[in-house]
Amino acid sequence: MYVYTGTLSYLDYARNELFILIFPRSFISGDPALAFWHWTVSGSGKRNQPTSLRGRIDSVTPSPSSDTTTVRLFQTSFYRLTLLLPHPHPHPSATLLMTFSNQDDSSSADAQVLNLRYVDNDALDLCRVYVGTLSYFEYALSTPIVFVLPRGKWEKGEKIGVYWQWTVDAAGTRKVVSNNQGSVDWSVEEGGGERRVGFLGELYYSFVGEVRGEGEEGERMSFTMWNRSRTDKGSVLGRLLYAGAKLELPAPLMSTSFTPASSFSSTPASTPTPASIPASTATLTSPSTSTSTIASTSTFPSTSTSTSTSASISTHPLSAVEPFHLTTTFHPHSVTHPSPTHPPSLSHPSTPQHSQAGTWTDTRPIGSGGFGVVTLQTCSDRGGQLRAVKKLPLGMRGVDYHRELRSLATLSDVFTKSFFFLSTFSFSFSFSL
């Protein structure tokens, strides 16, 4: 996950207001995104109006002519964001430029800088985000404050980020953003849905208070903010804004947002295997569909025994102007169910038994464009189904590939523990060039 902070100025509605942008999972098209800010004055005349946007990354587009990448968010909302990354690779940068505009782009703000404040490559859509107001003498007059728990747990040792904006700081500067990262110092469950916690004890400002309730109104929080000498204190009231969607079905697979610089060929090319696709092939306008079958042996997580499988490789066009997909899908001929008291686990994809879940070789140069798509699909004997889709840009580092695959394994692990065992398991990987 990634957390960016900065300020937003937009016409007369937002005047240098705290702006938080969070990517709970990763930096890939289709993954979730969350933004939070206050209107200085809303369109209806309300002052200090808290506002948030929840949606997904709509597109990640490396520029074929410059060393930049354009990311578009919330394109179906009234307000939308366009981000410009200062490199040709679709991954986060230390800083980025954000353009905030309305739905028809009739009004927009000047590009504003957001800074990367927190990274956790293993916290894949596990986070909990709380928003509220901070009151601390004349320095914070009901100003916005945001709490981010990357792994969603109020437990001792867990990381936490706290971000707020001073009304005026001790030097007399107005609307200064304060970025604070630390850990939970202690946590005590008191029953009745209430938990007492303390955090950021190692920093100048620390917090003590309670988080309570998970009913219709959701979780609420009430904290006291202390200075280091504990001579001065302020108060925080807040609520849960976002909880990681561990079993949320991903959005339908989107076509690639990258178009190669070369024009598409009008003649169908031969069908290469996934490990041997060169950068210059597979740019077809309307290829005919072809299919071949190969044999494979894989070890399935539900049995830890070798199982015969088959795989089909096929190409199919998306449209007359979009490139095709090359897909490999594995289907088990038979799966032996484990005991319901010992559910299977896919939480360690680096072990040999998960070799079918994404060990491939990407030989394309970094930044050359194109995407790989990983699909994990499971069905249980109790009727539940889970289909997870990840869209990975080709040229990613191996560790990033592994991290994304592990997120799929985590989804499947949670799912199978809920339904005890799998009846079917399939995995597919496709290139979109």
Closest CA to 295 of 306, 303, 285: 306
Q: What are phi and psi of 405, to 5 degrees?
A: -65, -35
- Residue of 276, 254, 261 lying closest to 367 (CA atoms): 261
Tell me the CA distances in angstroms from 202 to 206, 227, 249, one per residue in order. 8, 11, 39
Residue with token string 């998970």: 214
Answering whether pTM is above 0.75, one says no
As a whole number of angstroms, the distance between CA 324 and CA 255 comes to: 9
DSSP 116-184: EEEE-TT--S--EEEEEEEEETBTEEEEEEEEEETTS---TT-EEEEEEEEEE-TTS-EEEEEEEEEEE
What is the rounded CA–CA span in Å between residue 196 and residue 190? 7
Note down pLDDT in tens along the chain; length 433 residues.
Answer: 899 999 999 988 999 999 999 999 887 888 899 999 999 998 888 888 899 999 999 998 888 777 888 999 999 899 999 999 888 776 778 899 999 998 877 777 788 999 999 988 776 788 999 999 999 999 999 999 999 999 999 999 999 999 999 999 999 999 999 999 999 999 999 888 899 999 999 999 999 999 997 655 678 999 999 999 988 899 999 999 998 864 333 333 222 222 222 222 222 333 333 333 222 222 222 223 322 222 222 222 333 222 222 322 222 222 222 222 223 333 332 233 333 333 333 333 332 222 233 333 333 333 344 455 555 555 444 445 555 555 655 555 555 555 665 565 555 444 443 333 333 444 444 443 3
Q: Which residue, among 50, 147, 37, has the nearest Cα to 98 in the 3D structure?
A: 37
